Amino acid sequence: MSKGAPDSFNLSAPAFWDEAELYKEWHRIADICNSCRLCFNLCPAFPALLDRIDELDGDPDRLSPADFTRVVNLCYGCKLCYVKCPYTPPHQYQLDFPRQVIRSRAVRARLHGITLQDRFLGMTDVIGRLGSLTAPLFNWANRFPPQRWLMEKILGLDHSWRLPVYYRQTFAQWFRSRPRASGVAADRKVALFYTCTVNYSDPETGKAAVAVLEHNGVEVVCPEQRCCGMPAMDGGDMEATVKAARFNVNSFLPYVRQGYDIVIPGPTCTFAFKQEYPLLLPSPETDEVAAHTFDLCEYLWLMHRQHLLKTDFVRNPGKVVYQVPCLLKAQNIGNPSYALLQLIPGLELEMVDRCSGIDGTWGMKKQYRQLSLQVAGRLLSAVQDAQPAVAVSDCPLAGMQIEQGTGVTAIHPVSILKQAYGL
């Protein structure tokens, strides 16, 4: 096995975009994975890779570009293989399977263009603005069967996947128009990256985040921001991803230098700020932004550990099932959301550590919808068996998968905290 190159994910290096170099790296990775096989049951991508190697008499060198394309298509970006892999950097093999998948999609997009499906799914801000401006007509159209069949035919969005509801008043509009909060501590300041989902489709989570933070004496501001870029990255559109990263870094950096921490109520966006941006935009400024970025519940749990979080809970929301999002585990910060919920007196809490199989845009696509439901099967069964009053996940897409697969309402942990505080 050859050693890996530390700069294999360097967008400015010509080798990154070289198709021959791409497949050379794939064969190196396949050789390592074939010898290890620790990830054989994590997701559909690894059985596709390992079973194909077995069909080729155990020789990874015989894998074709088409074999690797199938593996790339079956990866939905949960990052769990990176969490489990014993060969990730700083190991001499420098094995980063998820970023090799991203690189493959980027090279494919540059050589063959971005598909209409991926381009559409990457336009979250455009779709969100349109949905909010035309709600409730937009919401009606998204639930009108002929419209959904047409979207499936043209865009490949499975007609059974219930699209999110869009609100006329976005979270950003609500935040700008609300009365200015008083009585917050000047030494704890947060710049909230509220996420596309919260802004257009789930403003209640954003309102709950603001209420809980301010209840605990934290000043909250909302700098100008764009989609984190991860949906565009899913489709290989690295130009749009880098543009989004640059905008957000430039927008949030002045706040960081004024003593604000960046707090995000969504693990995908938090992962982008912490781990993707430093690779996409390598600079001291990007590292500075990444170092001051926290998942919302991570930030609240750190406050608790510093004896700064109020525990004046007055309500018990009932039985709660908490689903651990994959991209929260990928940040290696433990389970802060679960720990926070355990602070609520009398709360009956059950953890389900199962993947939702919907990561990014993959599970919405017609070609993967049934496979997505198979991946999520154990999660959905566990939620149904628990019979909770409500399901909880930091990941909005996991919440949507749970709601659609079980009928159980799914909300962000901060909404449970808001209820428990009686806010």
Determine the pLDDT at residue 32.
96
Give me the domain span that covers residue 411: 311-421
The CATH number assigned to the domain holding 416 equals 3.40.50
Angle at the Cα of 365 from the Cα atoms of 361 and 366, rounded to 5 degrees: 170
Using the CB atoms, write b or e for 279-310: b if 16+ within 10 Å. Answer: bbbeeeebebbbebbbbbbbbbbebbeeeebe
Same domain, residue pair 298 and 325: no
Tell whether 405 is covered by a domain.
Answer: yes
Determine the pLDDT at residue 360.
78
Same domain, residue pair 34 and 71: yes
Q: pTM of this prediction? A: 0.93
Determine the pLDDT at residue 41.
87
Same domain, residue pair 268 and 247: yes
Q: How far apart are CA 37 and CA 218, in angstroms?
A: 46
Name the domain count of the chain: 3
Same domain, residue pair 55 and 107: yes
Same domain, residue pair 277 and 342: no
Tell whether 201 is covered by a domain.
Answer: yes
Determine the pLDDT at residue 327.
92
Same domain, residue pair 250 and 362: no
Ramachandran class of 11: left when φ > 0, alpha when ψ lies in -120 to 50, beta otherwise: alpha
Tell whether 267 is covered by a domain.
Answer: yes
Tell whether 161 is covered by a domain.
Answer: no
pLDDT in tens, the chain (423 residues): 445 444 568 898 999 999 999 999 999 999 999 999 999 888 999 999 999 999 999 999 999 999 999 999 999 999 999 999 999 999 999 999 999 999 999 999 999 999 999 999 999 999 999 999 999 999 999 999 999 999 999 999 999 999 999 999 999 999 999 987 666 666 799 999 999 999 999 999 999 999 999 999 999 999 999 999 999 999 999 999 999 999 999 999 999 999 999 999 999 999 999 999 999 999 999 999 999 999 999 999 999 999 999 999 999 989 999 999 999 999 999 999 999 999 999 999 999 999 999 877 899 999 999 999 999 999 999 999 999 999 999 999 999 999 999 999 999 999 999 999 999
Determine the pLDDT at residue 186.
66
Tell whether 202 is covered by a domain.
Answer: yes
Tell whether 166 is covered by a domain.
Answer: no
Ramachandran class of 58: left when φ > 0, alpha when ψ lies in -120 to 50, beta otherwise: left
Same domain, residue pair 377 and 274: no
Determine the pLDDT at residue 179.
83
Task: Using CA atoms of 80, 81, 87, 90 in order, give the dihedral in degrees to the nearest 10.
Answer: -40
Same domain, residue pair 87 and 25: yes
Treating both helix axes as pointing N-terminal to C-terminal, what angle do 45-55 and 65-74 enclose, rounded to 10 degrees?
160
Determine the pLDDT at residue 229.
95
Same domain, residue pair 186 and 98: no
**Bridge partners of 421?**
none
Same domain, residue pair 335 and 284: no
Tell whether 33 is covered by a domain.
Answer: yes
Same domain, residue pair 365 and 261: no
> Which of 112, 134, 150 marks a domain boundary?
112
Tell whether 378 is covered by a domain.
Answer: yes
Q: How far apart are CA 232 and CA 90, in angstroms?
A: 28
Determine the pLDDT at residue 282.
95
Q: How far apart are CA 261 and CA 403, in angstroms?
A: 32
> Which of 284, 304, 324 marks a domain boundary?
304
Determine the pLDDT at residue 361.
85
> Which of 66, 84, 112 marks a domain boundary?
112
Same domain, residue pair 357 and 298: no
Q: How far apart are CA 269 and CA 263, in angstroms?
A: 10
**Bridge partners of 157?**
365
